[in-house]
């Protein structure tokens, strides 16, 4: 292998335990190894409570995946379950499951919120650790009268945070009803409730505009939008480049008080083009833009760009 993976991972863990002591708790969700920032491009290690996921994007390391997995298992010991998620040459992922845990479920925690996490080779694990900065940024935006619209909600993690912060209501929109059912399970775990809408985000926004115009609904004051990285499929409604035009049009017409935007579908954009630059040109006259601070979640530790993994661009927009 020519690389002491276990020693490098141990070094990363020691760094995180010093910067973010919550990760010493084996029930927590977070990032243990962050690619180049920890010394190895295209390798991510995330914790979902008892489940530890080694993800390899770097094709130069794929042949050594089983050795990396064994080293990770040896480091964490019998109390944790380690699986490997390996990028294949065809663009999908191969899962290595030496502990036989695919399909099993656990309860894990991010800060004061509980989540059902699963070793699921089709739908990932229930929460994306690198979105924690955005979830933290949502908290101070929430007021007792807030209604939060959570688009591409997945398992409703942002709504859990909003309701725990005392929001009046949250609306979760996702095209996959199974994910919304999972999200309702997360609501139950936290003793909160919210609504779920199994619908394409584009269709929901069009309907929302009509109902607000007709006086049948008050526009949610906070919008969260976290689309999948590669929103492709059959039909124009599934292509994100069409979604964004529709989304920003809805923002301009409905003018929510605040938005939390996560975006990593930057493939094809020229180098140096950023979401912040794009939105400043598009909405800078109407909204103040600020990046989500990573000061409270140094476990992500992306001081330098990774060659194979791009962290979400996360922004908060506040209406002027």
> Measured between alpha carbons, how far is residue 100 from residues 115, 124, 125, 153 in Å?
21, 16, 15, 29
- Do 175 and 103 fall within a single domain? no
Quickly state the pLDDT bin for 153 (edges 50, 70, 90).
Answer: very high
> Measured between alpha carbons, how far is residue 231 from residues 200, 245, 259, 275 in Å?
12, 14, 20, 17
- Do 300 and 164 fall within a single domain? yes
Q: For residues 302 and 37, what is the distance between their CA atoms, to the nearest angstrom?
A: 6
- Do 79 and 171 fall within a single domain? no
What is the span of the domain harbouring residue 228?
Answer: 129-319
Span 214-272, pLDDT tens digits: 999 999 999 999 998 766 555 555 557 678 888 999 999 999 999 999 987 544 343 45
Which position has the higher pLDDT, 255 or 311? 255
- Do 81 and 148 fall within a single domain? no
Q: Which pLDDT score is estimated for 311? A: 76
CATH number where 13 lies: 3.30.750.80
- Do 162 and 292 fall within a single domain? yes
Q: Which pLDDT score is estimated for 271? A: 47
* Mean pLDDT, rounded, for 2-13: 91
Q: For residues 32 and 267, what is the distance between their CA atoms, to the nearest angstrom?
A: 26
- Do 70 and 138 fall within a single domain? no
- Helices 240-254, 275-283: axis angle to 10 degrees equals 40
Number of independent structural domains in the chain: 2
Confirm whether 124 is domain-assigned.
no
- What is the dihedral angle through the alpha carbons of 170, 175, 178, 181, rounded to the nearest 10 degrees? 10
Rg (CA), the chain: 20
Q: Which pLDDT score is estimated for 241? A: 66
- Do 137 and 103 fall within a single domain? no
Q: Which pLDDT score is estimated for 78? A: 84
- Do 93 and 142 fall within a single domain? no
Q: Which pLDDT score is estimated for 218? A: 94
Q: What is the DSSP letter of 270?
A: P
pLDDT averaged over every residue in the chain: 90
- Do 65 and 174 fall within a single domain? no
CATH number where 270 lies: 3.40.50.150
Confirm whether 286 is domain-assigned.
yes
Which position has the higher pLDDT, 229 or 213? 213
The strand pair at 105-110 and 113-118 is best described as antiparallel
- The DSSP-derived string for 17-42 is HHH-GGGGSTTBEEEEEEGGGGT-TT
- Do 106 and 136 fall within a single domain? no
């Amino acid at each position: 292998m020519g690389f002491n993976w276990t020693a490098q991972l141990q070094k990363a863990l020691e760094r995180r335990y010093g910067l973010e002591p919550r990760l010493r708790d084996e029930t927590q969700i977070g990032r243990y190894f962050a690619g180049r920032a920890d010394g190895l491009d295209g390798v991510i290690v995330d914790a979902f409570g008892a489940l530890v996921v080694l993800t390899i994007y770097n094709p130069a390391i794929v042949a050594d995946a089983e050795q990396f997995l064994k080293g990770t298992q040896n480091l964490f010991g019998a109390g944790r379950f380690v699986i490997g998620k390996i990028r294949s040459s065809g663009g999908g992922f191969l899962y290595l499951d030496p502990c036989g845990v695919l399909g099993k479920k656990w309860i894990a925690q991010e800060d004061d919120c509980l989540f059902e996490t699963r070793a699921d080779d089709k739908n990932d694990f229930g929460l994306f650790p690198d979105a924690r900065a955005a979830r933290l940024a949502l908290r101070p935006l929430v007021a007792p009268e807030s209604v939060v619209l959570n688009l591409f909600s997945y398992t409703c993690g942002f709504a859990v945070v909003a309701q725990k912060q005392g929001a009046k209501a949250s609306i979760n929109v996702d095209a996959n009803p199974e994910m919304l059912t999972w999200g309702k399970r997360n609501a139950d775990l936290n003793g909160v409730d919210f609504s779920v809408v199994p619908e394409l985000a584009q269709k929901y926004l069009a309907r929302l505009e009509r109902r607000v115009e007709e006086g049948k609904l008050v526009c949610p004051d906070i919008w969260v939008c976290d689309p999948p990285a590669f929103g492709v499929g059959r039909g124009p409604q599934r292509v994100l480049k069409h979604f964004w035009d529709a989304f920003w049009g809805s923002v301009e017409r409905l003018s929510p008080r605040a938005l939390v935007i996560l975006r990593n579908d930057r493939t094809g954009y020229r180098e140096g083009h950023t979401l912040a630059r794009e939105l400043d040109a598009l909405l800078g006259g109407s909204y103040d833009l600020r990046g989500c601070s990573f000061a409270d979640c140094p476990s992500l530790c992306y001081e330098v760009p990774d060659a194979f993994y791009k962290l979400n661009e996360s922004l908060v927009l506040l209406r002027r």
